[in-house]
């Protein structure tokens, strides 16, 4: 089929698909070099090679050489380093779903789209079969540490904010409470995993402790930066919402879970506990007559 036989609209679409295939080839190639498991690495290389073959098919039809989107490839490589290759592959899998539906509309004018569409379906199945990243095995431990820290410390800091009205004292109390709770939660997770017969009880406790400690650090930080306890409280609560949103988005993509309901559930619990604790702080200060 010659380029002139294609409509202008179809040509524009093919050029976009060609660029997308070249970009995905670059992403898969980079990920294959980072994945330690040989089987997974080989699958990624094979899929990347097929993406390149698809791009060459479009190149013959469009008559133009298209370069990959290097910025997108770099961004996905960075995401894989930061959040794990499973997260990136799940994101790309959703792109494969959209591409498959897109190819179906081109089959009448571009018969080659049928074979490429079938290849994309196979890619999805291969990707799903290979996803076995270590960090996802411990996502339950991470959720435990993060959710417990959000609920417990948001309540503690909110209560202390009005009771103490001094950002340095609040930060000191929050750090002491947070670090102690981190050690307690990590040790509890270790004992729970050990008693459940899990082989990697130590790793489970480490993931729980690290998630808890990082959450504590981000929540206490506003009280170290701002002098106004009201502003520090407001920033802390915004931080809680942002942490919940980011982590919920990560788990929703990596584990194919609904985002909206889980986000609202965690945000409602954390902010609700904070509100109750804030009221308790007011009542304690008033009835005990403590003035700091």
pLDDT tens digits, one per residue of 192-226: 777 776 677 787 788 788 888 888 899 899 999 99
Which tokens belong to 224?
């170290």
Sequence-ordered list of residues with C-beta below 8 angstroms from that of 279, at least 6 positions apart, any chain:
none
* One domain, residues 37 and 157: no
**Using CA of residue 135, residue 136, residue 142, residue 147, what is the dihedral sign?**
positive
> pLDDT confidence of 4, banded at 50, 70, 90?
very low
172 vs 160, residue with greater confidence: 172
* One domain, residues 147 and 271: yes
Q: What percent of the chain has pLDDT over 70?
A: 79
129 vs 27, residue with greater confidence: 27
**For position 271, what pLDDT does the model report?**
76
- pLDDT tops 50 at residue 182: yes
DSSP-derived secondary structure for 252-269: HHHTT--HHHHHHHHHHH
3 vs 251, residue with greater confidence: 251
Backbone phi and psi for residue 170, each to the nearest 5 degrees, phi listed first: -65, -45
- pLDDT tops 60 at residue 292: no
Whole-angstrom distance, CA of residue 199 vs CA of residue 201: 6
Is the CB of residue 177 less than 8 Å from the CB of residue 223?
Answer: no
* One domain, residues 193 and 64: no
- pLDDT tops 60 at residue 97: no
pTM of the model: 0.62
* One domain, residues 183 and 264: yes
- pLDDT tops 80 at residue 144: no
**For position 245, what pLDDT does the model report?**
86
Instruction: List C-alpha distances in Å: 195 to 100, 110, 192, 199, 201.
Output: 47, 60, 5, 10, 9
* One domain, residues 127 and 156: no
- pLDDT tops 80 at residue 85: no
Most confident of 116-120, 143-147, 261-265: 261-265
Most confident of 38-42, 112-116, 251-255, 272-276: 38-42
* One domain, residues 103 and 228: no
Query: 127 is in which domain, residue-wise?
Result: 3-132
**For position 5, what pLDDT does the model report?**
66
* One domain, residues 191 and 217: yes
* One domain, residues 147 and 284: yes
For 65, other C-beta atoms within 10 Å of its C-beta total: 9
Domain end residue (candidates: 71, 103, 132) = 132
CATH number at residue 97: 1.20.1260
- pLDDT tops 80 at residue 111: no
**For position 1, what pLDDT does the model report?**
44
Each residue's pLDDT tens digit, 237-283 = 888 888 888 888 877 776 667 778 878 887 787 778 777 776 776 67
Q: Taking all residues of the chain, what is their mean pLDDT, rounded to a whole number? A: 78
> pLDDT confidence of 231, banded at 50, 70, 90?
very high
In the block, which residue shows the tokens 């202390």?
A: 160
* One domain, residues 122 and 249: no
**For position 2, what pLDDT does the model report?**
45
> pLDDT confidence of 133, banded at 50, 70, 90?
low
**For position 288, what pLDDT does the model report?**
65
**For position 281, what pLDDT does the model report?**
67
b/e map of 165-185 (b: 16 or more CB within 10 Å)? bbbeebbbbbeebbeebbeeb
**For position 118, what pLDDT does the model report?**
73
* One domain, residues 161 and 280: yes
- pLDDT tops 70 at residue 60: yes
* One domain, residues 237 and 180: yes
Domain end residue (candidates: 132, 158, 177) = 132
* One domain, residues 147 and 265: yes
- pLDDT tops 80 at residue 134: no
Domain end residue (candidates: 75, 108, 132) = 132
**For position 128, what pLDDT does the model report?**
62
The domain tally of the chain equals 2
């Amino acid at each position: 089929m010659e380029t002139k036989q294609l409509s202008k609209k179809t040509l524009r679409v093919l050029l976009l698909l060609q660029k997308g295939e070249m970009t995905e080839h670059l992403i898969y190639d980079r990920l294959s070099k980072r994945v330690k498991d040989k089987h997974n690495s080989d699958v990624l290389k094979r899929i990347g090679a097929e993406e390149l073959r698809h791009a060459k098919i479009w190149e013959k039809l469009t008559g133009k050489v298209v370069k990959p989107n290097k910025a997108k490839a770099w961004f996905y490589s960075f995401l894989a380093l930061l959040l794990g290759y499973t997260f990136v592959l799940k994101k790309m899998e959703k792109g494969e779903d959209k591409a498959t539906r897109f190819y179906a509309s081109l089959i009448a004018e571009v018969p080659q789209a049928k074979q490429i569409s079938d290849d994309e379906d196979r890619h999805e199945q291969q990707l799903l079969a290979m996803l076995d990243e270590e960090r996802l095995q411990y996502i339950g431990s991470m959720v435990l540490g993060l959710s417990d820290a959000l609920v417990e410390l948001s309540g503690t800091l909110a209560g202390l904010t009005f009771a103490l009205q001094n950002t340095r004292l609040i930060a000191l109390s929050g750090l002491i409470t947070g670090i102690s709770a981190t050690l307690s939660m990590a040790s509890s997770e270790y004992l729970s995993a050990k008693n459940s017969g899990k082989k990697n009880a130590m790793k489970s406790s480490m993931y729980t402790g690290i998630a808890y400690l990082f959450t504590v650090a981000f929540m206490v930080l506003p009280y170290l930066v701002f002098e106004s306890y009201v502003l520090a409280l407001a920033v802390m609560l915004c931080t809680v919402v942002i942490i919940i949103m980011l982590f919920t988005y990560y788990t929703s993509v990596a584990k194919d879970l609904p985002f909206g309901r889980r986000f609202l559930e965690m945000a409602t619990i954390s902010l609700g506990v904070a509100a109750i604790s804030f009221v308790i702080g007011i009542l304690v200060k008033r009835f005990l007559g403590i003035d700091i």
